[in-house]
Structure 1
């Protein structure tokens, strides 16, 4: 039967009766312990989530660099003047002037006799130098004049220049021997028109042979002849 237990001798033992007030105290003690444990856990959990307490904001300190004070200026000694100082010299003592010795007066000498002027030589008339005539230049000028007269009949205005009515002067240079034979003909200065230059060369060719070179001139001479062309 409940509430009883048997002992080895077979006699049943009775259980003590339950006390309701003792059970209530046990229940309140357990509830109080659970409440304390829960409160402690919640407090610890809250602090763990919040982390360590925030540090105070760092204080900012402004720093300025200040130049060290300059040393006091030392007084500059005054510069020595470079201007030379002229020390007045003591006036030199003049030597004592000695009286000049008295010179004995000499008797006045008679003036020298003047030489009689010689008669001036008579001016002789200056000799007149008579230059010999330049026979070479005269012969050359005369021969050149003869050549121009010889060329004049053979000078013609070219037919090819008439449509354009060309005008101009050609300076020819030709070499000839003493017998009047022409060795070379060339244009020394052009007229600017080839048709007139060619006609000037043909004029010299048509005039061959020329008069012989006169005595007094070289055996071979170069003649410069201007040939002018104008529309009639």
Structure 2
């Protein structure tokens, strides 16, 4: 597997606060990497700094061996699809048009066909003509996921893609992202549900106080020591018929 996204010693500040310190990470084709950590730990800062959306004080970030800072906006869009936490929409466009924004490199007719196909994949095919401002938050989240899939980029980065979704929609979202990874795409997601992350991701990266404090397969990254020190939990990941589940209580 070849590296698609490489971060080396990234440090970033917002105002006077250090939000990321000496973070190094490499993401390869064909893997789904989960970024976890408490609220305010630096998960979003890691993504934004690594994609050139947040100024960095030190370190470097590369997309397919190109320095992120050297890429023009359209070049970056060819290399990475990014789904931020915010699910706002400025205009009440039909879902099919919002999803088609992910395929802006295609002729309009082709982009529309792809957008409708992606909406169907995320279970929102019947919303194609509905305005996104007339939707629930969960429905809008599916449309934005369809837009992400429509990018066809070699790297997909999604910040809290399952937040606020019903359990079935959460599982569908992660199943779709796993399918993208299986098809050779590198996928990175931030998640709060540690059990869901453990069941869905090939590798887990734990962020705490702006630092990457653990990385590896789920059982290794979410060890008893990390669960206690980072999340304040006494417990462990337990294998069940449906995969790993977190069995824990507050320390």
TM-score normalized by structure 2?
0.19
- Per the normalisation by structure 1, the TM-score is 0.20
- Structure number with greater CO (CA < 8 Å, separation at least 6) is 2
